Amino acid sequence: MHLSDLTLRNNLIMAPMAGVTDHIFRKILHNHGAGLTVSEMVSAKSIVYRNKNTFRLMQNEIDAPFSIQFFGSEPEVLAEAIKILDDAVLCGNAPPFDIVDINMGCPMPKIVNNGEGAALMKNPVLAGQLIEAAVRASGRPVTVKIRKGFTNATTNCIHLAMAAEASGASLVTVHGRTRDQYYTGEADWEAIASVKAAVKIPVVGNGDIFTPEIAVRRLKDSGCDGIMIARGAMGNPWLFSRTLEYLQTGSIPPPPTDETIINTAIDHLNAVKNSGGRIEEMRKHIGWYTKGMHGSAEIRRNVNTAKTAEEMEHLLLSLLR
């Protein structure tokens, strides 16, 4: 199997990030060339309970391919959630989606303490059962996101990837950190490369991708089929478009100008406003967009107390004067 079998646009994949990659930011990343966009992590159990907030997380305004990432620890509940979403898609109450992704890497205590997310790294049997249930319930490809291991002493990404492959997964993404690391330290790309060497399904590497040079080097050195970009895209959707051009032409385009960055941030702000979203959610995005600009520290402080989109726009424009 190859990435092309999943009908992705390219091999640069957007990482789902809770509270960050909502439908508006996903659209921006899609427009900058992301080969696959993924919903924020949604609870299979919440879908079964018809939680309206969970359905909002799956809002989508872009063309395929689009993946929904589920978390849960009960195979029968996951299968039921997929079937409920299938019915909702047919009725026009949920967006069409192309791939089912299962999160087995989230390190947050409230997820892990429920036996979900990265806790599944400690239970490969249950992890396999979840994948098998998703494969039976959906005619779509099923992919899995894992970590290097739960702890450094219990590194088992190879074993879990092989179990995922045997259970019917079409692709595995490996974040090169253990659960205990959360997002600290450096991602272990040797561990990611070892997974690629051990399985036949496509492997996507994830961790510390902040520049086009790093992305391309990691792709080549690890032998991975694709790269998943997470924090590097915060305030920097150009990481996708610049990396894509580098892969296609061998030349790295220049970084965006301050004017381009500010205009993109304003477009993002207006999209949130026009969609009826919470303007306060833009505070963190503006912080990421303006990081490193002259005078941006004061602007970020003022943005954090701004109450309207107009105030935020005025502050952003002041950086160009």
Q: What are the backbone dihedrals phi and psi of residue 142, each rounded to the nearest 5 degrees, phi first?
A: -115, 125
* Full 3-state SS string of 236-254: CCHHHHHHHHHHHHCCCCC
Bridge partners of residue 155, in order along the sequence: 149
Spatial contact of 230 and 17, defined as CB atoms under 8 Å apart: yes
Question: How far apart (Å, rounded) are the C-alpha atoms in residues 280 and 71?
Answer: 27
Task: Check if the beta carbon of residue 277 is closer than 8 Å to that of residue 270.
Answer: no
> What distance in Å separates the CA atoms of residue 9 and residue 175, rounded to the nearest whole number?
22
Structure-block tokens of residue 27: 């659209």
Q: Residue 276: CB partners within 8 Å, gap ≥ 6?
A: none
What gap in Å lies between CA 263 and CA 148, rounded to an integer?
38
Residues belonging to the active site: 106
Length of the chain: 321
| Encoded amino acid at 151, one letter | T
First to last CA, the chain: 53
Compute the distance between CA of residue 288 and CA of residue 184 in angstroms, rounded to an integer. Answer: 19
Contact of 75 with 129, CB cutoff 8 Å: yes
CA torsion 293-295-299-301 (nearest 10°) is 110
DSSP class of residue 152? G
Q: Does the N-terminal peptide bond of residue 96 adopt cis geometry, omega within 30 degrees of 0?
A: no
Which helix or strand (DSSP H or E) is residue 230 part of?
Answer: none
Q: Using an 8 Å Cβ cutoff, are 169 and 202 in contact?
A: no
